[in-house]
Amino acid sequence: MRFVSLLFFCMLSLPALADENVATASLERSWGLQLGDEVVLTITMPEPAMTIDNSSLPQRDRRYGVWLHLNRTELTENGLRMHFQLINVPIEKQVLKTPEFTVRTSQGQFVTVPGVPMTIGSMLAADIGEIRAAMLESDHASLSLSTEAARQQIQLALLVLVVTLLVLAAWHLGLRPRHRKPFVNALFQLFLMKWRGRRDADVATRLLHEAINQTAGTVIVHSHLQAIWDAAPWLEPLHDQIERFYQQSTAHFFAREAAIAIDFDEIYALAKACRAREKLA
């Protein structure tokens, strides 16, 4: 009875064995492989008439196992060529196999691609025993680099920058009075007097008179203010303040008894207002 059952099982298995197709696989180089090497797997179909269905091919640009990454595949006349890259290596030399997979033909048959042995070299030196026994050395102490030269260069650059800014500020504010407009010069002189604490109203009045005369191109007196409006119409919005300034100045300098005291801050404010108009002219 057992013999009959075994015979019946073998008869059922024969069709399945007859339908199983196994391709032939080989490597261009299967030994001495190192990290980063290209592993080319050539696959030959069991029958020349078989063509591989592209949709059944293994996915490209992905990792297969621990060791290999599939970069690209190429269909050949009677098979397939697969280009792997070795992306990992063991500590010791080791014999491994390429991945095993199944492809489908255009006729609907399934073909098994077996794994091919390959020898992967170690990532370490020759004597593994000594390397394993060796202890890792501690990190080297950090080296202190001298920064004195760089510090001196930075200090020199900052000093040159400060001196340059001071020269430019002095040139712009006080070293080129001939190139300044009348009210700019007057306001600058008044600012220096104010900063030094010398609030001399008489000197301030003369400075503002000089600015108005230079703007008008002639000497302006209280009775001929129209000349300043004709020469500088942009000063007309300050008509009342300028006329009051001339009244106070006339009363202060030409009256028999100077009864009107001139305020330095008022003159400074008028000069500042004239400079603002001058800037917009």
Residues 178-228 pLDDT 10s: 557 888 888 888 988 888 888 888 888 899 999 999 988 888 888 888 888
Distances (CA, A) of 126 to 84, 94, 280: 26, 14, 86
| Distance (Å, whole) CA 111 – CA 60 | 19
Task: Give the number of domains in the chain.
Answer: 2
78 and 180 co-located in one domain: no
Model confidence at 260, pLDDT cuts 50, 70, 90, reads low
117 and 173 co-located in one domain: no
SS3 220: coil
Model confidence at 176, pLDDT cuts 50, 70, 90, reads low
Is residue 111 one of the residues assigned to a domain?
yes
pLDDT score, position 159: 95
| Distance (Å, whole) CA 30 – CA 36 | 14
Is residue 239 one of the residues assigned to a domain?
yes
The pair of three-digit structure tokens given for residue 263, joined into one six-digit string: 């305020």
SS3 70: strand
- Average pLDDT of every residue of the chain: 81
Task: Residue 50: give the domain boundaries.
Answer: 19-124
Domain end (from 89, 124, 159) = 124
Is residue 158 one of the residues assigned to a domain?
no
Task: State percent of the chain over pLDDT 70.
Answer: 80
113 and 173 co-located in one domain: no
pLDDT score, position 52: 85
pLDDT of residue 133 exceeding 70, the answer is: no
CATH number at residue 71: 2.60.40
pLDDT of residue 49 exceeding 50, the answer is: yes
Distances (CA, A) of 83 to 40, 64, 72, 74: 5, 12, 5, 8
Domain end (from 124, 156, 188) = 124
181 and 270 co-located in one domain: yes
| Distance (Å, whole) CA 99 – CA 90 | 17
pLDDT of residue 136 exceeding 80, the answer is: no
pLDDT score, position 120: 83
Distances (CA, A) of 130 to 82, 111, 127, 133, 134: 38, 47, 6, 5, 6
Could you tell me if residue 126 is left (phi over 0), alpha (psi between -120 and 50 degrees) or otherwise beta?
Answer: alpha
| Distance (Å, whole) CA 74 – CA 27 | 15
The closest alpha carbon to 231, from 271, 182, 268, belongs to: 182
Cα-flanking dihedrals φ and ψ of residue 49, to 5°?
A: -80, -10
Average pLDDT rounded to a whole number, residues 236-247: 89
Q: Which residues contact 268 (CB under 8 A, 6 or more apart)?
A: 187, 190, 194, 204
pLDDT score, position 3: 46
102 and 178 co-located in one domain: no
pLDDT of residue 138 exceeding 70, the answer is: no
Model confidence at 12, pLDDT cuts 50, 70, 90, reads very low
pTM: 0.39
pLDDT of residue 7 exceeding 70, the answer is: no
